[in-house]
Structure 1
């Protein structure tokens, strides 16, 4: 799958991209023009975001080069099962809509580390804040900037470091200026461009597969037939790599339910992913939940997540189907050595762009790619500076800082975090392997301890700070020990190798430790188990703010979304 070297931009492409940049700048300036002397205005948009901005920003923050580069490369290698990283969010989204949103909004907090201190203690808050900052830089910002830099490097032949710096500086500028308000409103426009640009590439890829028939239906049929890998070179390359993927002789690319030994999507993760990674990513991950905390009220927050759910339904069409198309068109890539093949797969989408996009659409896709990078970089930068400013600087260094001073610190820390991320991004290429696997494995390491104590802490009043602290530190020690064990002992159980299985095992150990230690030590103080910090099932009314008219009904639109996901899982069972 050799990259072409003639991906030139014509005047029409430049005009399309320039229009996107001008529109984004205009929206960012318009949204951020209001004075931001209060920290709530800068970090939470004054809690004024409407539902369509909440949902669009929630998804735009999530879509990045992990999807356009990493997930498409993963779909090329592993097949349809990677779509479960999108469709599987139905569980966490449902809990977010029905349980966590009314609960978190009633707590009136700025950050999730702040909530952790109120429920447990300052140690948990500071440790969670530090881990949040590190994970945001390493697992999100550096990876996203690397993926974007890799795309520009392969498309135009630019130096990788130069590409990363350009993307980082351009993408991060508006975060410094406007805070969450600018970021969220820019995301509304960006997500439309991303979905439009990504859909066009998928459609052109299906037309390419169909050959002289020029039929989407025929292209889709050929894609499915070749991904079944029942004959020819497709069967050969799947058999060649089955041992690496599932540690078995056979592998089914068009099934979302995979063996327990599957490298990235064992069947156990379909049941347990919510408890560890999904709960952490969608509920207590600051750069995602910050959009919810900035909503006007509970109805706008809930409908925003419902809208995000519908986008999750269609996302695999633009970030998984292209990988299936590439496998159907270029199966010989999978004859390469395993690590080299996975790195080559990450370049597949760039090859599609070079091969398929005509004049004009190149500019649109560059806008979509830049939008994916810009929205995620903005989101993570804003949330990371929020955590640093409020949970580290304000909490530990200058408790009497003015609101205006905190906004200034937020802007300065944003710049510093951006440059650290740019520096680290240039070294990801040396790690080898798949970008998608790199990011997902980091999620599986960081998430379980905090997901366990958060869930137990809000459900059970008896959980205390001692139990939570013990669980968190044991969880990270266990995570490190497992990874070392797998590296040094080739006789380790096959089921332990997939990071999703490690994640659930870590979560279970943390949950057990938290419960046992809490029961063996003194109960928490009354101020740590108020109705704002633990769920009072008698007082929490989850049926408030569900919409006055039927077409505003959270229940209706959530129900349709959930049924769509269930239907898709059944089809690809």
Structure 2
């Protein structure tokens, strides 16, 4: 595929602006570690919210959605749509708690909530486990998508894409720090959204597809349109709908959708001006992420079924593509090759924007773990601000190199998504409860982390998985694998919780005094403190969790109805679209009232 001068102009101008921003903020970002990783905790909600959206607008997301739609239909997206519940719990319950903690990273939380050597080990281990291992896997997934886009659209070899895209991104990330990431995310969001919508509109109307009406009437596409899985298909209903909504959202740790908040979402909440800005940023993110953004990708995925009905047709159209990278996720890139000059440049710039936004965020977040939670804790407790910024920049480069190497060995996006989900299965409940139940201790988290990982590895790499979950003669049905990991991991960590000693009164009281979590799970600690003449509960602090849960439920109704109404408007199904739109308006009104009551509980 040949790019025109106009296409190259869009891309070059975009690169120049992004690198210019990185260079412009580099001096201030390098002033100290707080500036480099949290921008001095002065960020407004709208800028942080857009940054969260831009970060999750990665190059692998449209590939993943395309893979899901082509394999399991539109309803297959419930594997990630269910995480909206997690996201809104973070908005209405956990965002203010994270902002109150005033930590530099979410891992610093461990030595605030827990005590002793176990807490110190947990913090250091997870700094490497999440900041390096999981972070590298996530970035490799994004880089794999860039490799496929580069191979399909530009005919680039995998190493050429990795070197070209990675070099620019790592330079910008190392220079600009968190402020550079957030500032450029503002630009990247609008570029990426424009490219996605423009591509969807054009590709649905190419002659091979024939417009939206012809697309909806296509026999292959019609079987993929259901937003809720077919109830007559029991296996699909359980795997694609029931398990995500009943189990997955609260039980699994997944980057960007951590139960109780965490990762780069927590980083942005910690960078907010105050609690209200942290809440506003996360709510804005969830609306944009779930309600509005998926449909351009879904439309392209549906159109790809008409043009490239199977993998063989993709291979036939792109015979030079590496066979190890062939998969349904390639269909998105394959469709983009049909864009005209000008729009092609915008879309390529938008994909580059998506790649840079996600990778730069992951690099800055991951290096913050390495600096604050490993280097300063383990290697150099007396590190100066200048040394910490230097280590942050070096670790940024190292993380990029390792993720690029791994990306060259991976094959498809859905494969990585499944690995990450299963690997964190069963740990999510701890992240939800640790704020509100005093009895959870450091050993609860250590046990859950290792149990989930070991069980997942055994099921994925040995004969145990097929033996237990074979669809034909296994001990359990194949859909039970994920709940099995959750159940076993939960039993193990609960056992460890009650078999090990609780955290000290000093640690628990100090945590309560700082965070004011409230609720019956801390009643024992509050009573014992009062009996000792120590006041740890503020008189004006009311427990806001019941109001938060109400707001979360109303928020779920609002965002899901907007998402589904949008889909039905696109499908041309006016009646359900009108009904859902009306429900969205009512739920928005009720949510505004609930939010007004909640604000009374925010300090």
TM-score range, shorter chain: 0.7 to 0.9
1:352 maps to 335
RMSD: 3.5
2:468 aligned with 1:517: no
Structure 2 runs not aligned, ≥5 long: 316-321, 520-536, 569-575, 581-603
CA separation of 1:534 and 1:84: change in aligned 2, threshold 3 A: farther
Distance 2:426 2:348 in 1: 38
2:98 aligned with 1:104: yes
Q: Secondary structure at the match of 1:324?
A: helix
Distance 2:151 2:107 in 1: 38
- The worse-fitting range, judged by mean Cα deviation, of 369-378 and 518-527 is 518-527
1:159-174 superposed matches below 5 A: 159-174=157-172
**CA deviation map 1:216-271 (0-9, x unaligned):** 4x245335x53224xxxxxxxxxxxxxxxxxxxxxx66243365644973521122
Distance 1:41 1:500 in 2: 46
Pick the aligned partner of 2:454 from 477, 480, 490. Answer: 477
- The worse-fitting range, judged by mean Cα deviation, of 201-210 and 27-36 is 27-36
Q: Secondary structure at the match of 1:459?
A: coil
Distance 1:487 1:201 in 2: 44
More contact order relative to length (CA 8 Å, sep ≥ 6): 1
**CA deviation map 1:512-536 (0-9, x unaligned):** 3333332233321124322246731
By how many angstroms is 1:195 displaced? 0.9
Q: Secondary structure at the match of 2:240?
A: coil
1:246 maps to none
1:152 maps to 150
Distance 2:275 2:552 in 1: 11
By how many angstroms is 1:206 displaced? 1.4
Pick the aligned partner of 1:383 from 334, 341, 365. Answer: 365
CA separation of 1:221 and 1:424: change in aligned 2, threshold 3 A: closer
2:216 aligned with 1:221: yes
By how many angstroms is 1:281 displaced? 3.5
1:45-444 superposed matches below 5 A: 45-120=39-114, 121-208=119-206, 215-216=211-212, 218-222=213-217, 226-229=220-223, 254-257=226-229, 261-262=235-236, 265-277=240-252, 281-283=256-258, 284-312=261-289, 313-333=291-311, 343-355=326-338, 357-429=339-411, 435-444=412-421
Distance 2:327 2:425 in 1: 31
**CA deviation map 1:444-478 (0-9, x unaligned):** 13323542332232221012223333333222222
Distance 1:160 1:173 in 2: 20
Distance 2:395 2:310 in 1: 47
Q: Secondary structure at the match of 1:110?
A: coil
1:234 maps to none
By how many angstroms is 1:65 displaced? 2.1
2:486 aligned with 1:507: yes
CA separation of 1:219 and 1:304: change in aligned 2, threshold 3 A: farther
- The worse-fitting range, judged by mean Cα deviation, of 180-189 and 293-302 is 293-302
Distance 2:362 2:137 in 1: 10
Distance 1:383 1:264 in 2: 32
By how many angstroms is 1:131 displaced? 1.6
Q: Is the 8 Å Cα contact of residues 209 and 307 (structure 2) preserved in structure 1?
A: no
By how many angstroms is 1:211 displaced? 5.9
1:13-28 superposed matches below 5 A: 13-28=7-22
Q: Is the 8 Å Cα contact of residues 75 and 225 (structure 2) preserved in structure 1?
A: yes
CA separation of 1:140 and 1:271: change in aligned 2, threshold 3 A: same
Q: Secondary structure at the match of 1:282?
A: coil
Distance 1:160 1:327 in 2: 26
Q: Secondary structure at the match of 1:273?
A: helix
CA separation of 1:568 and 1:9: change in aligned 2, threshold 3 A: closer
Q: Is the 8 Å Cα contact of residues 125 and 391 (structure 1) preserved in structure 2?
A: yes
CA separation of 1:211 and 1:276: change in aligned 2, threshold 3 A: closer
Distance 1:166 1:38 in 2: 30
- TM-score normalised according to structure 1 size: 0.83
- TM-score normalised according to structure 2 size: 0.79
Q: Is the 8 Å Cα contact of residues 85 and 556 (structure 2) preserved in structure 1?
A: no
Distance 2:288 2:385 in 1: 36
1:550 maps to none
CA separation of 1:76 and 1:492: change in aligned 2, threshold 3 A: closer
Structure 1 runs not aligned, ≥5 long: 1-6, 230-251, 430-434, 547-552
